[in-house]
Structure 1
Amino acid sequence: MSELVFQDIPQVELLQCLGRGYLKQNLLRAIRLWVWLRSLYGDNRLVLDDSFSYANWRDAFFSPTHPKGEKIPVVHDSDCPCTKTTSQWLFNEKTRIVASQWQKSILAYTGIDASALDKLLQQRLFGVTRRSLQADLEILAQLGWLVYKYQKYYRVCEFPPRPITAKYDISTTKISAYELNFMHEDLAAIAEYHSQKINGVQRFFLKLDYVIPHSTLDAVEDLECELRQLWAKTPVPPVKLTYGSAKLGDKVDCIVYPVCIYYVQRAVYLCAYGQSPEKDTNWYNFRLDHIQSMTSLEWTNPKLPSNLLQHYRKTSLPTPDYIALEMSKAWGFDFYLPSQLMLLRFDRQFCDRYVKGTERHDTFEEITYQQVQRLIQREIKQPQQQDLLKVLAKRSETDAYYQARIRYQDNEHRDNNLVMRLRAWLPKVEVLTPWDLRQSFAADAATQFMLYHN
């Protein structure tokens, strides 16, 4: 008997494969085939000989009172698997599938009406004729999940190629580290270790600020689902976005190549290459809840921007690895902005309590007072260099000083998430460089003083 273990969850891609390309018409059969595979290869697989017939599987799968005729079985035993609805097979403690998310992906992919999907989910998945179940076996053999010879079925020694979907350990319901590789490695380890209940009590919780209004949540989830489907295509197509730009105060159309999505500081963003709202950079991070529409395009479309078309022709379209590399070089999510030196001065006591020993970015490190002097002399041009050296001469050598590389062009093009981080440290931090950012903070401080002075 094969030692292969089937742990795939019924994502759209897998069901599309089991439905042989016609998921809308074959949805129930695709789900039923998924249950078949769990019964044959799952951790709690049926006890069957190396070779088996439909009758052998039927007797092992259904209750002893299950009818053996050709008709659709009546509800004869509440414990017989033929009484369970499709919804019960999909959404239970063992599968841990979130019903709302699964249904949303199916609706987006197939175009099935929501009420029609609800009716399908309430149908008895195995309340079908013997002939239909026999056909299921034949389809599994055709798809390479079983071998049929000498009027018997045999389990395979290697699963056929199929879309790899998220896996889970049914016996322990422990999240695998692979599923969590999108998180910071230390946080992923915590989530993997503490994700399950202990003696029936959940002890680990992850609280994130998420500012997306409830009115746009459905639209954001629809976009995420559409992007997942686009990324499953070869080649991945470009898209036309209609984007509500907060900076421009208007909506604008951008044609881009969608690379990946990031959750950063309270929202989800699409990192895309092509056109930016202001048409001044090749890259842009589009906040998903500001995307008003997204339309898939063909690579032959004459309106594609030249920079995007050039990468496509050279088969050098950007990847998520490029983005990760650029973000490692300088602090800030707007990885396409220029990298500049930032020098900070902290109140020593505050720094020792709340900053020292924490990780902010690979380039964020404590330096000495003398190193700050040398960096200003080497990196900063006149007349700002002389002004900064005068400022530094008035500061104490016992204060804490830090350097970092940050994404900053000017006060109109800066990483606002980083600026918000700096504001949270005020008034215990002083920005020495970049000079424009220092002047901006000074102006803000003067305005704030006037607000509270009276």
Structure 2
Amino acid sequence: MFEQVFQDLPHVELLQWLARGSLKQNLSRAIRLWVWLCSLYGNSQKRLVLNDSFTYAEWRDAFFTRTHPKGDIIPKPHDSLCPCSKTTAEWLFCEKTSISAPQWKGLMLAHTGMDLSHLEQLLQQRLFGVTRRSLQGDLQTLADLGWLQYKAQKYHRVREFPPRPVSSQDEVTPTQLSAFELNFLQEDLVAISRVRRRCHAIAETYAQKINGVQRFFLQLDYVIPRSTIDIVEDWQYKLRQLWAKTPVPPVKLSYKSARVGNVVDCIVYPVCIYYVQRAVYLCAYGESPERKTNWYNFRLDRIHKMTALEWTSVIPSHLQQCYQKASLPTPDYIAIEMSQAWGFDFYLPSQLMLLRFDRNFHDRYIQNTFRHETFEAISYKQAKNLIQQNTKQPEQQQTLLKILENRSDKDAYYRLYYRHGDNNVSMRIRAWRPKAEVIMPWELRKNIADDVATEFNLYHNCGNY
């Protein structure tokens, strides 16, 4: 007989994982799946009297009363003792769970963005007042998530639970985080274990209220509008399904490109997802919108359509060659490339930069902060040598050396590598102006000078309105 016990509470993170997409749209099904798991793996009071291998009909007869309809229709209320008569609220807020209804509702509203009236209406619906087809779909979903195995026309309990966001009454306290929840954190490769420890410490120290007051808050800037959040979640769920396949297939994306200014089709191999610069991106290898690089970071909310292909389909030759040679790119490659130069567009060319900060600004806002692995403070003399060694055009070299002579040797100078053409790098430098100055490379300095001239024309007559 199976020994592991499922005691997870229906907290937001678990329900989001069970929803396999938008929790706002799939909340009832996610809660129903949680009840399924309690009935299959719960303790002796919750677990059904059911063999470890069973059919849908056997589960139905063990779960519902004898008078429960067996056809493929939504069962009408027929027996107050039948589980199909219980509302969603009755499953959630009872002595067995000890869940605070106001607190749970508040968290759910904050996470999904749904209206309270809509949530209340959903909670009053009969959770298992659904068709046989829906319940069989639940079984298939549990199999897809790794909670069951389907073979020989029967469902079989598993010996090990799949990794998931964990929270239970007996095993895990609300302040604990599992490794499952933190294994996606990315920083520089050397310091990643330190980052995880810090996150654990922060969460364990501040997750709960102190004397009844919540003192710790985490706010993430997110430029994606609420109207497309569900789309982003749906694409993340679809990608999760594709990555569970062997081999992982290529996909055809219909993508609204900001650079191209139109919707373009790109055939790519999806590698991984990053949340960076206030949005969620798919890092993929194959075709880019402009067809200038083999790699591209696709913003998920701009994907209009995603179609899985076969490796036998017509796909770019360089992508097909990677597949045939079993050398498809991995997330590790992306992490290493991002550590080599500043910027998220890791596929753009890396160039050396000489950056000057006003000393007062530097000591207040830059000193003792981390920007990128390649940021290295250098002396005024080293800055001069850097220009001489790396600016090949004599006229440009002399101009930059004269510019440096007119700058204070007391200012802060940095050498670093960056991704030339990365928009996020340009935006960061723009935010530092005029307290920061790019001295080298020449091309980047000239581009910034052009931007400054254009900006000056917008503002220089501000007193003449």
TM-score (norm 1): 0.72
The answer to whether 1:34 aligns with 2:41 is: no
Identify if the C-alpha distance between structure 1 residues 233 and 199 changes in structure 2 by more than 3 Å, giving closer, same or farther. farther
Select between 398-407 and 226-235 the one with higher mean Cα deviation. Answer: 226-235
Q: Which residue of 1 aligns with 2:439?
A: 432
Q: Residue deviations 1:79-100, cap 9 Å, x none? A: x988643565469848979769
Distance 1:451 1:143 in 2: 64
Identify if the C-alpha distance between structure 1 residues 233 and 347 changes in structure 2 by more than 3 Å, giving closer, same or farther. same
The answer to whether 1:373 aligns with 2:378 is: no
Q: Which residue of 2 aligns with 1:173?
A: 174
Q: Which residue of 1 aligns with 2:338?
A: 327
Q: Which residue of 2 aligns with 1:286?
A: 298
Equivalent runs, 1:44-123 vs 2, <5 Å: 46=45, 70-71=66-67, 74-75=79-80, 84-86=86-88, 89=91, 93=99, 122-123=125-126
Tell me by how many angstroms 1:272 deviates.
0.5
Which ranges in structure 1 are unaligned for 5 or more consecutive residues? 17-25, 55-67, 105-114, 145-155, 409-413
Identify if the C-alpha distance between structure 1 residues 121 and 257 changes in structure 2 by more than 3 Å, giving closer, same or farther. farther
Count of residue correspondences? 384
Q: Which residue of 1 aligns with 2:310?
A: 298
Tell me, what secondary structure is at the counterpart of 2:42?
Answer: helix
Q: Which residue of 2 aligns with 1:164?
A: 163
Select between 267-276 and 90-99 the one with higher mean Cα deviation. Answer: 90-99
Identify if the C-alpha distance between structure 1 residues 317 and 7 changes in structure 2 by more than 3 Å, giving closer, same or farther. farther
Distance 2:148 2:185 in 1: 35
Identify if the C-alpha distance between structure 1 residues 392 and 88 changes in structure 2 by more than 3 Å, giving closer, same or farther. farther
Q: CA RMSD in A?
A: 4.2
| Residue identity opposite 1:349 in structure 2 | N
1:243–1:293: 8 Å Cα contact kept in structure 2? yes
Identify if the C-alpha distance between structure 1 residues 15 and 290 changes in structure 2 by more than 3 Å, giving closer, same or farther. closer
Q: Which residue of 2 aligns with 1:182?
A: 184
Distance 2:241 2:126 in 1: 27
Distance 1:206 1:103 in 2: 17
Equivalent runs, 1:354-393 vs 2, <5 Å: 354-383=365-394, 384-393=396-405
Distance 1:449 1:28 in 2: 57
Q: Which residue of 2 aligns with 1:152?
A: none
Q: Residue deviations 1:248-296, cap 9 Å, x none? A: 1111110001111111112111111100001111100011121111111
The answer to whether 1:229 aligns with 2:231 is: no
Distance 1:377 1:314 in 2: 44
2:84–2:129: 8 Å Cα contact kept in structure 1? yes
Q: Which residue of 1 aligns with 2:282?
A: 270
Tell me, what secondary structure is at the counterpart of 2:268?
Answer: strand
Distance 2:216 2:246 in 1: 39
1:15–1:31: 8 Å Cα contact kept in structure 2? no
Tell me by how many angstroms 1:394 deviates.
1.5
| Residue identity opposite 1:209 in structure 2 | D
Tell me, what secondary structure is at the counterpart of 1:122?
Answer: coil
Identify if the C-alpha distance between structure 1 residues 5 and 378 changes in structure 2 by more than 3 Å, giving closer, same or farther. farther
Tell me by how many angstroms 1:71 deviates.
4.5
2:274–2:283: 8 Å Cα contact kept in structure 1? yes
| Residue identity opposite 1:168 in structure 2 | S
Identify if the C-alpha distance between structure 1 residues 86 and 103 changes in structure 2 by more than 3 Å, giving closer, same or farther. farther
Tell me by how many angstroms 1:166 deviates.
2.5
Q: Residue deviations 1:181-225, cap 9 Å, x none? A: 323526623245423333443222112221112332232222122
Distance 1:429 1:13 in 2: 44
Tell me by how many angstroms 1:309 deviates.
1.1
Tell me by how many angstroms 1:245 deviates.
1.1
1:169–1:176: 8 Å Cα contact kept in structure 2? no
Tell me by how many angstroms 1:351 deviates.
0.3
Tell me by how many angstroms 1:301 deviates.
0.6
Tell me by how many angstroms 1:371 deviates.
1.5
Which ranges in structure 2 are unaligned for 5 or more consecutive residues? 21-28, 51-63, 69-77, 150-156, 187-194
Tell me by how many angstroms 1:161 deviates.
4.6
Distance 2:341 2:367 in 1: 19
Tell me by how many angstroms 1:126 deviates.
11
Query: Which residue of 422, 432, 446 maps to 1:415?
Result: 422
The answer to whether 1:396 aligns with 2:408 is: yes
| Residue identity opposite 2:163 in structure 1 | I
Distance 2:308 2:234 in 1: 14
Q: Residue deviations 1:36-85, cap 9 Å, x none? A: 24522xxxx6499xxx967xxxxxxxxxxxxx985569436xxx988643
The answer to whether 1:248 aligns with 2:260 is: yes
Distance 2:66 2:313 in 1: 54
2:358–2:412: 8 Å Cα contact kept in structure 1? yes
Tell me, what secondary structure is at the counterpart of 1:212?
Answer: coil
1:14–1:163: 8 Å Cα contact kept in structure 2? no
2:2–2:159: 8 Å Cα contact kept in structure 1? no
Identity value in percent: 55
Tell me, what secondary structure is at the counterpart of 1:293?
Answer: strand
Equivalent runs, 1:144-223 vs 2, <5 Å: 160-161=159-160, 163-171=162-170, 172-178=173-179, 179-183=181-185, 185=195, 188-189=199-200, 190-223=202-235
Q: Which residue of 1 aligns with 2:190?
A: none
Identify if the C-alpha distance between structure 1 residues 201 and 27 changes in structure 2 by more than 3 Å, giving closer, same or farther. closer
Identify if the C-alpha distance between structure 1 residues 69 and 434 changes in structure 2 by more than 3 Å, giving closer, same or farther. closer
Q: Which residue of 2 aligns with 1:22?
A: none
Q: Residue deviations 1:15-54, cap 9 Å, x none? A: 99xxxxxxxxx999865440124522xxxx6499xxx967
TM-score (norm 2): 0.70
Select between 386-395 and 421-430 the one with higher mean Cα deviation. Answer: 386-395
Select between 201-210 and 162-171 the one with higher mean Cα deviation. Answer: 162-171
Tell me, what secondary structure is at the counterpart of 1:391?
Answer: helix
Tell me, what secondary structure is at the counterpart of 1:271?
Answer: strand
Distance 1:102 1:305 in 2: 40
Distance 1:103 1:206 in 2: 17
Distance 2:347 2:386 in 1: 24
Select between 188-197 and 356-365 the one with higher mean Cα deviation. Answer: 188-197
